[in-house]
Amino acid sequence: MKKGRKEWTIEKIKDGFKMFYDEHGHYPTSIEIDAYDRLPSSRQIQRAYGGLPALRMQLGLSGQIDYTKGEYSSKRATMIGNRAHKIEKEVYDYLVGLFGKPYVHREYFFTDDRRNRTDFYIYYDGGNFLVDVFFPKDSRCLSGCLNSKLHNYQVSTQLKHPVIFLMMNSEISNETLENILIRKKNRLSAYQKLMSYEQFKRFCSSMKRLPQISS
């Protein structure tokens, strides 16, 4: 759903801020707001409330750090960017080594507006599957991230394919994943799976690979 088509009441915005905080452990910057479906765009916030600082004040968040300025913003962006790049490269190298480069598509877009994407689209002998990689800092964030991803995977073109939500924090156990799935009110569909990297490797190893293409 396009952000502009929804009526953004202050209650909905407050809920969106809380959900983002539960998922990421901090309140969103303007860039993060624009990428988050459960909040209006930063331009809409500017028109309606006079900008993000004014909105934070109205929501009672005026005492929070301004994540858009200074050394904190720079260090945090660098840390997250470096970690995401390292993790995606590790998964990519593993998938290419197993299935072959022609059968591993990185950053696959489902729609022309490039809003709906998945990290990897994999072909194997028998079909295909999607991989969405994420790194929650703890189990609480994991649950929030998973809810957000389930919300995002509602485009008809995405529903045609199995998808694996690949959780890359090795400090979160497989037992924790199982308990989160048991407690979830919003259940995963039959074609959706939540896996640790360990479980993911076992899953991929069980798939029959397509013949390798000679260069």
Alpha helices per DSSP H over the chain = 10-24, 30-34, 42-49, 52-58, 70-99, 139-152, 174-183, 197-205
Residue at 123 is within a domain: yes
Q: How many domains does the chain have?
A: 2
Say yes or no: 62 and 91 in one domain. no
Say yes or no: 176 and 110 in one domain. yes
> CB atoms < 10 A from the CB of 161, how many?
17
Four-CA torsion 74, 75, 81, 82, nearest 10 degrees: 140
Q: Is the pLDDT of residue 157 over 60?
A: no
Q: Is the pLDDT of residue 90 over 90?
A: yes
Residue at 34 is within a domain: yes
Four-CA torsion 47, 50, 51, 54, nearest 10 degrees: -140
Say yes or no: 96 and 25 in one domain. no
Determine what percent of the chain is predicted with pLDDT higher than 70.
80
What predicted TM-score, i.e. pTM, was given to this entire model? 0.64
Say yes or no: 40 and 119 in one domain. no
d(CA 109, CA 114): 6
Could you tell me the CA-to-CA distances from 16 to 22, 27, 83 in Å, in that order? Answer: 10, 10, 25
Say yes or no: 55 and 101 in one domain. no
Cross-strand bridge partners of residue 166: 133, 195
The pLDDT assigned to 2 comes to 40
Residue at 111 is within a domain: yes
Could you tell me the CA-to-CA distances from 115 to 137, 152, 155, 172, 194 in Å, in that order? Answer: 25, 10, 10, 29, 22
What letter does residue 208 receive in the DSSP assignment? Answer: P
Four-CA torsion 6, 11, 15, 18, nearest 10 degrees: 130
pLDDT in tens, 104-142: 999 877 766 556 678 999 999 999 999 999 998 888 788
Say yes or no: 131 and 178 in one domain. yes
Q: What value does the mean pLDDT of the chain take?
A: 82
Q: Is 207 or 112 the better-scoring residue by pLDDT?
A: 207
Say yes or no: 57 and 83 in one domain. no
Range of the domain at 56: 3-68
